[in-house]
Amino acid sequence: MDFSESEEITALREMLRRYLSKECPVEKVECWDREDFIPRDELKRLGDLGICGWCIPEEYGGLGHNVLGMVATIEELARCSSGLASYYFMCAGYGGLNISESGSDAQKKRFLPELAAGNVAFSYGLSEPNVGADLGAVETRATRDGQQIVINGAKRWTSAASMNDYIYALVRSGPVADKRNNLSFVLIPTAAPGVSVTCLSAMGHNGVPLADVVFQDVELSIDDVVGGESGWNNGWSALAGPALEVEKLGPASIALGIAEAALDEAWQYSQERSQGGKKICGHQAVRHVLTEGRTQLQAARLMLMHAAWLVQEGKPSAVATSMSKLFVSERAKDVTLACQQQVMGAYGYAHGFQMQRYVRDVLAIPIYGGSSAIQRNNIANLLRLPKA
């Protein structure tokens, strides 16, 4: 068994590190964090690198179906900025993968070349004020009259809706009684009449602001339903496909990148800070924290890459992706907090170092994209653990 990365992925990581070191210095990242905004040009520049098309067919300007490439890209971007990694994922994952998997021919021709170029980004519209993990209970409604569709309702935690072009929204398109058979995905332009976006403030994961979105008599057509006519009332199958598995891998990749950056900063700090007449990297307690962190993140990366490989190869992956989201998110949180509290101490809490940003950012990952509690439930159910 060969657990080494391909030469392609290794070269990708090296290219991204050179690019980020030059084009995304700490001062720029701190500005994104402070202002909770990443300029649109940054996404376009990633498109110019060619990395927005990892999950887009070559005929539409992409690189084919390479989930491992997308996951590695997200990880490397998150080492620099979790916001930039999220912004990228909204283009390559929310957009590129979803439209490649579920879009109509017309939607593929329209959107995929633009997504591969980094010209378009989608926000997910899943959660609602009264709906969290039980997505089959969505209340936002789509009513249809022939080819015309009208959307009314609200979405919550819609990241970057104030910045992006479309909301990839899950809506109820039929009676509630048979809820999973009466759902549809629709592409709602954020600039459409009747769409209002209110940004929300959060403690971290800045750069792609959270938002509440309200839809009031938003007029669309059947062409705006993901998949076109065949996608009407067929949203559950689109939700439960490969895109859902990658939705778990994206946040896990961000968590891994954050924790790696935090560990790198603590590792370097330990060689510069002296206490008791020697560098703190010579104290056994500190050495144990750092080496335990390396070990945990190595295990996390192997689990993540295995799950990504399963998705890429079209093999059963639901258990592996849920385990990855759970394990990587929780271990990344633990490693980052240990680096802050047990290695850097007060310096890890203060501005001037990036550790305080890493801590604020990593705390969000076990919550969104399916919380750790939800992933534990998923794993138990998928492995058919009896409830009684």
pLDDT tens, residue by residue, 256-313: 999 999 999 999 999 999 988 899 999 999 999 999 999 999 999 999 999 999 999 9
Q: What percent of the chain has pLDDT over 70?
A: 99
Residues 6+ apart with CB under 8 A from 203: 360, 363
Give the right CATH number for 7-120 from 1.20.1050.140, 1.10.540.10, 1.10.1740.10, 3.30.1330.20. Answer: 1.10.540.10
Q: How confident is the model at residue 385 (pLDDT cuts 50, 70, 90)?
A: very high
pLDDT at 3 over 80: no
Q: Write down the pLDDT at residue 240.
A: 65
Domain segments of the chain: what residues?
A: 7-120, 124-235, 241-382
Residue 235: per-residue pLDDT:
83
At 217, is the pLDDT very low, low, confident or very high (cuts 50, 70, 90)? very high
Interior angle at CA 92, CA 324 and CA 28, nearest 5: 95
- In the chain, % of residues over pLDDT 90: 84
CATH for 124-235, among 2.130.10.10, 3.40.50.150, 3.40.190.10, 2.40.110.10?
A: 2.40.110.10
Query: pLDDT tens, 16-59?
Result: 999 999 999 999 999 999 999 999 999 999 999 999 999 999 99
Phi-psi region of 384 (alpha: psi -120 to 50; beta: other; left: phi over 0): left
The whole-number average pLDDT for the span 204-215 is 94
Give tens-digit pLDDT for 80-104.
999 999 999 999 988 999 999 899 9
Tens digit of each residue's pLDDT (9 = 90 or more) over 139-176: 999 999 999 999 999 999 999 999 999 999 999 998 88
Judged against a pLDDT cut of 80, whether residue 179 lies above it is answered with no
Q: What is the pLDDT of residues 229-245, one digit of tens each?
A: 999 998 887 776 667 78
Task: Please compute the mean of the pLDDT values over residues 197-207 and round it to a whole number.
Answer: 92
CATH homologous superfamily of domain 241-382?
A: Butyryl-CoA Dehydrogenase, subunit A, domain 3 (1.20.140.10)
Q: How far apart are CA 262 and CA 294, in angstroms?
A: 11
Residues 6+ apart with CB under 8 A from 13: 5, 72, 76
Q: What share of the chain is helix, strand, coil (3-state, %, to 5)?
A: 55, 15, 30
> Could you tell me where the DSSP H helices lie in the chain?
7-23, 26-35, 40-49, 67-80, 82-89, 98-102, 105-116, 235-239, 242-270, 284-312, 318-338, 355-362, 372-382
